[in-house]
Amino acid sequence: MSNSVNVANENGVAVVIIDNPPVNALSFHVREPLHAALAALRDDATVRAIVIVCAGRTFVAGADITEFSKPVQQPELRAIVALLETIAKPMVAAIHGTALGGGLELALGCHFRVADAGAKLGLPEVKLGLLPGGGGTVRLPRLVGAAKALGMIVSGTPISAGEAKAAGLVDAVFDGDLIAQAVRFAGEAAAKGGSFAPVRERRDRVAETDLAAFDRQAAELARKARGLEAPLACAEAVRNAITLPFDEALAAERALFVKLVAGDQSRAQRHLFFAEREAAKIQGKDVTRRKIARVGIIGAGTMGGGIAMAFANGGFPVTLLETGEEALQRGLAMIEKNYAVSVGRGSLTEEARQQRLGLFKGSTDYADLADCDLVIEAVFEDMAVKKVVFGKLDAVARPGAILATNTSYLDVDEIAASTSRPQDVLGMHFFSPANVMKLLEIVRADRTAPDALATVAELARRIGKVPVVVGVCHGFVGNRMLSARGAENEFLLLEGATPGQVDKAFTDFGWPMGPFQMGDLAGLDIGWRNRKARGQTAVIADTLCEQGRFGQKTGRGWYRYESGSREPVPDPEVEELIRAKAAEPGIARREIGADEIIERTLYPLVNEGARILEEGIAVRASDIDVVWANGYGFPIGKGGPMFWAGLEGAAKIVERLEHWHRRTGRAIFEPAPVLRRFAETGSWQVP
Ligand code: 3H9
């Protein structure tokens, strides 16, 4: 046997053990010996039954994603599943950890599936811009019904072993020694005898499908796909499982898979998959992690409360500190309310709510932070205020505790320098709502110790966040680039576009919403206040605010909102205001197309990203993609701004930036040296 596949024999029940760390992906060096082992066991008369299990922390977590960019090597997964279907003796997949993608498809080739109580099962290919390509779209509906399969395959979200049992996907759920129980299960099936039908022959669940209801469900999912091809292909393939004979549906699934895997969208999503994992690694630093058992949060406002919830959700005890009892109680009440809403929505059990609330300890005394291993400050965005907080923290925190600021813009070096322990200070920039948004910018200050950085990066993954390490500059990676993206917004309006046209260019590109709709949602008064503080102005936005038009919360902003609705309605008053503001300096308004809108907003975004790379604020171009895909809604099918720059053509971007630079003279369009080099060499490498 190979190192990756081993076979043991337990009284006539063969146990095939796949061993390919870390996640038992079905790489070529697994598929080849697996195919050979199964063929041999099929023909071995001494073997009564076969159990497929995995060594290590999980069942097969899918095909090997790194192989998708290379030529296919035989035997493919499909050939292995086809071989399984020629085996008459009972076959059992024994699942622990996660059976995902090709892993679940392998299990679907078996007669039976048994699972550890903590296991999860799913077909997450859609998240990689793909559909299951090993028969999953055709076999899963035969076990769980087409509607359930559609939901699982289009969302890509795994289900628990319990849910899988209830749905008919697994035959038994076990606690304790999974292999021993799977062997017993297989032995009993063999002893019972009779014939064992492969999943392909089970038609009753798909035959009962209400096709009209299925099509309605698929249409609703298609509406939410926002330009992504994979969810539509998933729905088409599951529909084929209902309407076509098995082999035809299987062939159609293959054709869709082949098309998607070669396409830009899947390449982009695979890029993000690896980029997210890469971003969590602290380069060249093989350091031990500090122990984090209790987390302190200073400030129980929206941000502090959200951060506290994120840690409690990850199982950490939290000390929440406020200046006074009233503010503390208000913050705790908000947290209770948020959890109650989750229970009402069915996304949290009452038991989990109680357990999470039990992790909170409120305080108004800094001394109570003394037993915290990490303290995150989330107070008012003002340097003087932050320094006072860090001074008090410095006095009480235990030696070695990590002290973090949640600032969005301020200089973390300056904050660190105000303490006696700058090596323990860093930024943890959460995004609002902090208990929901996945991105975490970890700000590395000049003197931050590598082990503090590595500890926080690992911790972030443990609470379900996607961490990216960034350097100190105004706005770090995300907000700094956001300013660049928005720099031309008002010029576009003054020169002839409407807010609706700009927003439509964005949503057509794949963004969830455009900048003006976003401004109305966030509240225009926030930007107005920030501009005033920095002595800046915005010709149109300032006037809107002076008129009390703060966006959705006042029913009027860049758009009008009918009573309580979130649906933006174009407002002739705003268009009149734009025309008047354009007339003042004598700007002749003209038709502005979607291409121009993209060039003047997203090319500066890429350009600023290039500057950020040049300055070393981000270590890798892919880190910037992770920031934008997880924190700002950059369409995942385009892989983030830096990946997209490659698809768009860096040479074209440079040429158009130069064009706009000549035309406007504005620095935002001056191509960054790294971008020029990328155009010449095809690589973001910073010398
Ligand atoms: C598929 O199956 C297609 C088929 O339908 C058809 C085929 C014809 N391949 O996430 P982690 C690496 S598509 C290669 O940090 P965790 C990962 O890059 C696939 N590598 O661990 C990382 O490497 P490194 C469908 C993979 O415990 C290391 O493993 N399946 C793969 O937080 C650890 O990963 C999926 O989409 C892979 N399939 O989470 C599942 N998976 O250490 C994708 C992981 O060098 N995987 N790696 O950075 C996951 O969702 C998570 O990895 C998992 C573990 C939940 C399994």
Give average pLDDT by consecutive 10-residue segment, the chain, 687 residues. Answer: 89 97 98 98 96 98 96 96 96 98 98 98 98 98 97 97 98 97 97 90 91 95 90 97 97 98 98 96 77 98 96 98 96 96 94 96 97 97 94 97 95 97 98 94 96 95 97 96 96 98 97 96 91 91 97 96 91 97 96 98 98 96 98 97 97 98 97 96 86
Atom of ligand 1 nearest to the CA of 78: 8
Mutate to test the pocket of ligand 1, among 23, 24, 104, 259 (most ligand atoms within 8 A of CB): 23
Quote the pLDDT of residue 133: 97
Atom of ligand 1 nearest to the CA of 77: 8
For residue 56, the CA-to-ligand 1 centroid distance in Å is: 14
Q: Give, using CA atoms, the residue closest to atom 15 of ligand 1.
A: 277
Q: How many other CB atoms are found less than 10 A from the CB of residue 628?
A: 29
For residue 125, the CA-to-ligand 1 centroid distance in Å is: 11
The kind and range of the H/E element at 470 are strand 466-470
Quote the pLDDT of residue 198: 93
Q: How far is the C-alpha of 7 from the C-alpha of 38, rounded, in Å?
A: 10
For residue 14, the CA-to-ligand 1 centroid distance in Å is: 27
Q: 105, 253, 441, 596: which one is catalytic?
A: 105
Atom of ligand 1 nearest to the CA of 127: 36
Quote the pLDDT of residue 588: 94
Q: Give, using CA atoms, the residue closest to atom 48 of ligand 1.
A: 277
Q: Are 94 and 17 in contact (CB under 8 A)?
A: no
Which residue in this structure is represented by tokens 């002076």? 546
Which residue in this structure is represented by tokens 């995995």? 54
Q: How far is the C-alpha of 537 from the C-alpha of 530, rounded, in Å?
A: 10
For residue 128, the CA-to-ligand 1 centroid distance in Å is: 11
Alpha helices in 321-418, H assignment, sequence order: 325-345, 350-357, 383-396, 412-417
Atom of ligand 1 nearest to the CA of 65: 9
For residue 490, the CA-to-ligand 1 centroid distance in Å is: 43
Mutate to test the pocket of ligand 1, among 65, 68, 76 (most ligand atoms within 8 A of CB): 65
681: exposed, middle or buried (Cβ count in 10 Å: 0-12, 13-18, 19+): exposed
590: exposed, middle or buried (Cβ count in 10 Å: 0-12, 13-18, 19+): exposed
Q: How far is the C-alpha of 685 from the C-alpha of 675, rounded, in Å?
A: 10
Quote the pLDDT of residue 286: 72
Q: How far is the C-alpha of 613 from the C-alpha of 271, rounded, in Å?
A: 18
Quote the pLDDT of residue 261: 98
For residue 101, the CA-to-ligand 1 centroid distance in Å is: 10
Q: How far is the C-alpha of 20 from the C-alpha of 23, rounded, in Å?
A: 7
Q: Give, using CA atoms, the residue closest to atom 10 of ligand 1.
A: 277
Tell me the pLDDT tens digit for each residue of 266-302.
999 999 999 999 998 876 557 889 999 999 999 999 9
Q: How far is the C-alpha of 137 from the C-alpha of 554, rounded, in Å?
A: 47
Determine the distance from the C-alpha atom of residue 35 to the mean position of all C-alpha atoms in its chain, rounded to a whole number.
34
Q: Largest alpha-carbon pair distance within the chain?
A: 92
Q: Give, using CA atoms, the residue closest to atom 49 of ligand 1.
A: 61
For residue 140, the CA-to-ligand 1 centroid distance in Å is: 21
Whether 105 sits among the annotated catalytic residues: the reply is yes
Quote the pLDDT of residue 544: 97
Q: Which residues contact 614 (CB under 8 A, 6 or more apart)?
A: 672, 673, 674, 686
Pairing outcome for strands 374-377 and 295-298: parallel
Quote the pLDDT of residue 285: 56
Q: How far is the C-alpha of 53 from the C-alpha of 177, rounded, in Å?
A: 12
Q: 76, 125, 276, 322: which one is catalytic?
A: 125
Helix then strand count (H, E) for the chain reads: 30, 17
Quote the pLDDT of residue 533: 85
Q: Give, using CA atoms, the residue closest to atom 5 of ligand 1.
A: 132
Q: Give, using CA atoms, the residue closest to atom 6 of ligand 1.
A: 133
Q: Give, using CA atoms, the residue closest to atom 9 of ligand 1.
A: 64
Query: Which residues pair with residue 441 across a beta bridge?
Result: 429, 468
Quote the pLDDT of residue 15: 98
For residue 30, the CA-to-ligand 1 centroid distance in Å is: 15
163: exposed, middle or buried (Cβ count in 10 Å: 0-12, 13-18, 19+): middle
Tell me the pLDDT tens digit for each residue of 337-396.
999 999 999 999 999 999 999 999 999 999 999 999 999 999 998 999 999 999 999 999
Q: Give, using CA atoms, the residue closest to atom 39 of ligand 1.
A: 23
Whether 414 sits among the annotated catalytic residues: the reply is no
For residue 127, the CA-to-ligand 1 centroid distance in Å is: 11
121: exposed, middle or buried (Cβ count in 10 Å: 0-12, 13-18, 19+): buried
56: exposed, middle or buried (Cβ count in 10 Å: 0-12, 13-18, 19+): middle
Q: Give, using CA atoms, the residue closest to atom 19 of ligand 1.
A: 62
Ligand 1 lining (C-beta closer than 6 Å)? 22-23, 25, 58, 61-66, 77, 98, 100-102, 105, 124-125, 128, 132-134, 136, 274, 277
